[in-house]
Structure 1
């Protein structure tokens, strides 16, 4: 396990042909920014998998190819935020 910035929030942007299961079919939404809980990089692949909790409070390992940075919020402990940037 590789830990990263505690205040990193990501949005889902599925790539065609990306790894399965697809996040938007698995409890994630386009309008939510998800806090990265951690990161895992198996030695047999070049992909990294970020650990996120979805809208159903399930913990998932999502391939980095499906994710985009929304913002860094220092000191935040919220697991979900709106993707609307003020």
Structure 2
């Protein structure tokens, strides 16, 4: 029986005992990030969210950040509100 790097049931089956404090997660940081990102994408998909990436002028981003601090909202929330208003949704 071989151990796969992403196998959640047999990850430490053949691992040697290490001295010191036990790790809270048996996976490397890069694998943890992959798992977390996958679950985040699934969660967003279930909520009906889609990823959108845009490039904006620095002045626009600075003003956007000012508005975010005034409204105490995240950039995504401010942009979503602005687009909904502009698109009459």
TM-score, length-normalised on structure 1?
Answer: 0.20
Asked which structure has the greater CA Rg, the reply is 2
More helix by share: 2
Query: Which is strand-richer, 1 or 2?
Result: 1
**TM-score scaled to structure 2, two decimals?**
0.19
